[in-house]
Amino acid sequence: MELHIIRRFLLEGGLSALANLIPITDSQIVSIVILVSTVLGCYGIYKLVSLFEKSRRRQALLAPILTLFYYLNLWSVERIIHVWIWVAYAIFPMYLYFGLVYTLHRYSRYLVAYSLLFVLYGIMPHNFIYMLVIHMFLVILLFFLIDKNMKEVENLLLFIGGPIVIYSLINMPLLLLLMAGGLEYPIPMSVDQLAMLSRNGDLLNIFTFSNNWWPKVSTALLKNPIFQATSLLLFAFGFSALVLVKRVEKGRKILVLLSSMFVTGLIFFIQGINNPILLNIIYFFGQLGYIDIFGPLREWGKLSILIPIFLVIMLTISLASLKDRRSLILTIFLLVLVILNIVSSPSLVYISEVYSPINVPLEYYSLNKEIRLDHKVLWVYPSSAENILGAWRYVWNKQKVISENLERSIGSTYNPNLEYVKMLSQKEAPQQLLNFLNIKYVIKRTDILGASNFKAEYSYLNCKKLDYLTVCENPNNPTIFYVPALLILSDLDGKSFYAISFPSTPHYVALVTEPRNDIARAAQTALPDFKSIWFYKMIKEKGFLLSPFRFTYFTNPWGFWSRASTADLLHAEWHSYLERFGVENWQSDYGEGLVFTWAVSRLKGIPTPGNDDLITEWCFDSTDDLYQWKNYNIETSFDIYHLTLDDDALRAELWSSTLGWKTINSPLIQVEYGNWYRWQLQIKGENTYKVQVRIVEYNQEKQILNTKEVKDIGSGTFNWQTITVDYLLENPETKYVQLQIRHGCETLQPLPSIIWIDNVKIYDMKRFIEPVALEIPFTIKENDEYVFLTRIFQNRQGGKIQIQLDNKNYTVNMRDQLNKFVWKEIDVIRLEKGSHKITLTNQQGFNAVNLFSLIPKQEYQSIQNQIENILQNMRIIHILEAETDLYHQNSAVSNEYGREASNRQVLRLDQTSKVHNIIEILKPGNYIFAIRSKGNLNIQIDQKEYKINTTWLNWTYIGPIYFDKGNHTIEITNPIQLQYKWNFNSENDLYQWKSYTPENQFGSLYYLGLDNGSLKAELWNSTWGWKTLNSPIIPVSPETTYQFDFHVTGKNVYDVQVRIVEYNSTKTPISARIMSDIGSGNFTWKNINFKYTPPQNVFYIQMQIQHDHEIKQQIPSILWIKNVTIYKYEPACLDVIWIYSANSSTLNITLDLFSIDKTSEVKNYSQINPTLWKVQINATKPFLLSFTESYDPLWEARVYKNGKLVEKVKSLPLYGIINGFWINTTGENLQIVIRYAPQDWFETGLIISSLTFIFSLFYLFYDWRRSKR
């Protein structure tokens, strides 16, 4: 269970519960907490000042100054967005004051108060770390202050452990939840992520409060010189305390010294990877596989908010140590510094603009009331929208960043981090699947400014565009609980979820993705992909499983094997990279993560190429350099554009503003795939607009393969600057590259716009590269013969990888048209007990690896037998989506049928298309083929051939066909359709043509007859006008291709041509087209063939052979034609093929896979609270109860029969999203209690927590009364 869910439940849920007890809203309760914390914090600053400054007058002057600094410094203001972190920050002064008082005076009531603040404000993970740091500070301080006698040591131990014990007891519910389910840091770590989050962590930014990795204001505000100067002076003032406290008492000296050390230590960490020492530490732990320990520190900038409290201590003690006029002068100086710093910083912009209150449109409040919580809402985001300062904004307020909190305030949603919930929002699901998941509403975020390109439209629902949001309502009424009539075993593959829920089913169906033995025995049906997840489970239990994800600490696929997760965890995204390569896949990595890359090499260290590495250079000190570049540049592109030499530099002038990017192009450079190249050049600009450097890759034919922007130079006027670009070729087909300087599309700058380029050099970096490899060490415990397996991602953009196990190498081909994760058996190898190593090297293409496995050979065979035995008593369904599960050539994926098609796509086949695959049959027996298609198709199954024809997208059934266990082939083609054929060996053929061919044309004597299997046409005199030999009028389908084929011979003929005459729907001729010239004179038999496609307005055609207009040959002129054939090239569409096992050898002519009698029924259900439901069921057989809340293995079903508890059942995942409970108990009126199991622990912990809290309050009251006596 994720940490943020628990903390929100405990903190925000508690506040919400409090709000329900009194007539105020949740937000008002939060506001009160913020106000109380701020007031206590301000009072805490005053009390801190009073500890060290005894003068009331100076206290009154110093406390407001420090309060202003503490609450309005930029670090503080930036954290307001994280309200619960800032609330803890607000209380730090009081927290520190209580701790200091105990440290200095040993008053136990202050220790209890200190502990209670730790408990209340440290519940959030970040806050716990921050307050623990302050606690460590005070522990070290106390250690140096005590006298080292036994009593003082006891006080030290009490201070160390007391707050932790009280924290543990009062937060017992949280700790028990941890014990029950386990809490993990939800975000995978990587060096690249840590680098991004510390990208502004250099020392200057830290000392000017500007190290936030993503500021919400313009960076120009952060560069204000007054702000930077005053920030630096404030730090200098703080550290001056080290000098000013030379003559003060020991305790204050230690306090100042310790504060300085903690500030220095915090700055050490806040730098992140900008600190070379810390970077090496990160690399060290990363290589050991422990980079995730840096998770709590990943946002280095957040640690900054600890520094102000230590600066307050340092500033207070330094000013309090001075007793003369210097103290007043420095205090006034501090006041001026603080005011100038606040006024010149972005803090006021944050408060007045970024955090300014807004009026939320009433639409959101209305939806909150209208949408009930007993159904689920699916939120769909656009693929693109307008970006302002790195974030999307609202249509109704461009100043505000959109918030996902909106989704928690309208209806009930599934956990958006679930992999298949994301899939539903990106790939439109069938309505049946929405029903199975209890999704009643789909809300599209059209309230986002510039929202466009929604991948999932859900237009088939009842959609209504409101003023801002678009709400689509499912007309069905899905339910929270249901009993599916059919259980289908499946792998965690979203495409299977869509496919199985596409046909209309009479009852609910459940896809069970948990390979549990009891479920495997109970399920009636299985998809063959279930074998994959069964393998994973069994190998994990009986073999040795290695996840490469745990052995890399990068998310930079341009140079390393990089981490990713199919669940698209933050900073471990996967599907966005698939989109980059035009690949779709929704299979799971089983929660193990994966590694991927497309890089085949990377640069070592910091390379410094020399003259020996130089490929070519242009210094532009000769006209030869100029002409080389001119040959690749169009000087008249879009408008007046000139390239010349200017003082040994290339000068490009643009004299007019027009649409389109202008480019300065280098000559093409021959290159080698897998190698790196360095481009180095100098560039200067005057009145330029959006200058960019691009690298363009070309194939052998010098056609563009891809273009990549590698450097953004900017706009305006700039002096000479040196640009260096290291570039790795991305396409294996690349043979040439070109440098392009792009600029000037509709320039807004004064004209002319001028760019100078000089000293262009290209280096071959081959001697500086190393392969992209990942080492995976492991230890074998027993000598044995092992089957070596891997689960890899084969895809159409894949290439090759090399897998080295110890000293043995294997090359694996990763390219495949079907884009799937597959288990691949690499070898059977004997391994000795001890240490071994797998080295994974990328050789070509976009490749990904999920798992490696080693399993004893005997165990492997046992697993194979187990899965086959499990499937023996089930119906097996192979679902082959034409566009994604079948290999296809010369075909096209089409969306023409929309949601009428399974997966909303069909495969369009012409007469050159071929579709095929090999089907693995795990269970011998009879199988039925259900083929959903339109048009004529030839289906070849092994050696048998079948022909099917449908006039619309419909099911056709073949079989039953008996299959033995093993592999079987299926091949599908679209045959050419014979429409008409005339052999001219009968009077009927002659009569058809004579009916359309007059024997008197333009006064000529024209005769038609049969002659030895051909049609003979004789012309006996020469007249003006073309004579035609006409076929019958033929009906045709517009925009459908036809092929004409015939043989012709001639004697004394003149200018013979074939034409097609086109007719409209009333058989009125509208045009004619010459299709082929045959010739003149005498010639032997010629084969004439051509293709013709009628336009939209043509419904009939006629083939005519025209000849002998004013013939100049001898009379008679004779033509013979034979074997006239017309074929129709009609495209066919293939949607999906279902292959399912049949119980008999008789064909059932319906797709009745789901026609199963219901044996269980949900009578009613009720929600007691968010963690407790009650359901009443009648059941005559064991059944699966589906519960449409986000899957969590900690949900539990308790079954009561006749008032007695008879069964406890743990949850299992359905569709990878919701919960299912397999219940064996049967009978009338079964009472089933669905309970979140940790709730029992939570309630126990709540009792302990409450008693501890009450006792602490009682002790504070008792100690206060005792001190008054």
pLDDT digits (tens, 9 = 90+) for 856-889: 999 999 998 888 888 888 889 999 999 999 999 9
Of 768, 759, 767, 687, residue with least CA distance to 724: 759
The pLDDT value given to residue 1200? 94
∠ CA 267-270-271, nearest 5°, is: 90
Of 1215, 1208, 1214, 1160, residue with least CA distance to 1183: 1160
DSSP-based helix, strand, coil % in the chain, nearest 5: 35, 35, 30
Cβ-count burial 40-56 (b if 16+ within 10 Å, e if not): bbbebbbbbbbbbbeee
The pLDDT value given to residue 1157? 62
Residue 895: how many other CB atoms lie within 10 Å: 10
The pLDDT value given to residue 508? 83
The pLDDT value given to residue 994? 87
pLDDT over 60 at 1003, yes or no: no
CA 938 → CA 177, 697, 933, distances in Å?
60, 42, 12
Region of poorest pLDDT, from 44-48, 279-283, 1060-1064: 279-283
Region of poorest pLDDT, from 407-416, 722-731, 946-955: 407-416
Peptide bond into 752 cis (omega under 30): yes
What value does the mean pLDDT take over residues 592-607?
A: 93
> Can you tell me the distance from the alpha carbon of 627 to that of 606, in angstroms, rounded to the nearest whole number?
35
Tens of pLDDT along 796-854?
Answer: 999 999 999 999 999 999 999 999 999 999 999 999 999 999 999 999 999 999 999 99
The pLDDT value given to residue 889? 94
Tens of pLDDT along 928-987?
Answer: 999 999 999 999 999 999 999 998 999 999 989 999 999 999 999 999 888 899 999 999
What value does the mean pLDDT take over residues 607-623?
A: 92
CB 997 within 8 A of CB 982: no
pLDDT over 70 at 179, yes or no: no
CB 605 within 8 A of CB 626: no
Q: What backbone phi and psi angles, to 5 degrees, belong to 1194?
A: -90, -5
57 band by pLDDT with thresholds 50, 70 and 90: confident
174 band by pLDDT with thresholds 50, 70 and 90: low
126 band by pLDDT with thresholds 50, 70 and 90: confident
What sign does the dihedral 410-416-421-425 (CA atoms) show? positive
Of 444, 440, 422, 418, residue with least CA distance to 431: 440
The pLDDT value given to residue 5? 43
| Residue-averaged pLDDT of the chain | 87
At 1138 the three-state DSSP class reads strand
The pLDDT value given to residue 398? 87
What value does the mean pLDDT take over residues 981-995?
A: 91
> Can you tell me the distance from the alpha carbon of 1265 to that of 193, in angstroms, rounded to the nearest whole number?
54
pLDDT over 90 at 440, yes or no: yes
pLDDT over 50 at 10, yes or no: no
1244 band by pLDDT with thresholds 50, 70 and 90: low
Strand partners, 1079: 1056
Of 604, 597, 553, residue with least CA distance to 842: 597
As to burial, measured by CB atoms within 10 angstroms (0-12 exposed, 13-18 middle, 19+ buried), residue 445 is buried
> Can you tell me the distance from the alpha carbon of 128 to that of 11, in angstroms, rounded to the nearest whole number?
14
32 band by pLDDT with thresholds 50, 70 and 90: confident
> Can you tell me the distance from the alpha carbon of 250 to that of 254, in angstroms, rounded to the nearest whole number?
6
The pLDDT value given to residue 1149? 44
The pLDDT value given to residue 1? 39
1059 band by pLDDT with thresholds 50, 70 and 90: very high
At 1269 the three-state DSSP class reads coil
Better-scored residue on pLDDT, 1129 or 408: 1129
pLDDT over 70 at 185, yes or no: no
The pLDDT value given to residue 1106? 84
The pLDDT value given to residue 1259? 63
From the DSSP assignment, how many helices (H) and strands (E) are in the chain?
A: 32, 56
Kind and range of the H or E element at 366? helix 362-370
DSSP 514-540: ---HHHHHH-SEE-TTHHHHHHHHHHH
User: What is the set of domains in the chain, with CATH numbers?
Assistant: 3-354 (no CATH), 362-478 (no CATH), 530-600+772-871 (2.60.120.260), 611-768 (2.60.120.260), 875-974+1132-1142 (2.60.120.260), 978-1129 (2.60.120.260), 1160-1238 (2.60.40)
> Can you tell me the distance from the alpha carbon of 1158 to that of 1179, in angstroms, rounded to the nearest whole number?
9
The pLDDT value given to residue 171? 72
1053 band by pLDDT with thresholds 50, 70 and 90: confident
How is residue 910 written in tokens? 């012409």
How is residue 630 written in tokens? 């001119």
> Can you tell me the distance from the alpha carbon of 1030 to that of 865, in angstroms, rounded to the nearest whole number?
69
How is residue 114 written in tokens? 């200190």
What value does the mean pLDDT take over residues 423-437?
A: 92
In the numeric block, the tokens 């957040």 are attached to 302
At 417 the three-state DSSP class reads coil
pLDDT over 60 at 1151, yes or no: no
> Can you tell me the distance from the alpha carbon of 1156 to that of 486, in angstroms, rounded to the nearest whole number?
7
Tens of pLDDT along 497-513?
Answer: 998 888 877 778 899 99
Region of poorest pLDDT, from 12-16, 549-553, 993-997, 1108-1112: 12-16
The pLDDT value given to residue 12? 47
The pLDDT value given to residue 1245? 62
CA 532 → CA 347, 535, 539, 592, 1007, distances in Å?
55, 5, 11, 14, 74
Of 528, 529, 492, 485, residue with least CA distance to 507: 485
Q: Please report, as a single letter, which amino acid is at residue 222.
A: L
The pLDDT value given to residue 53? 86
Q: What backbone phi and psi angles, to 5 degrees, belong to 560?
A: -145, 155
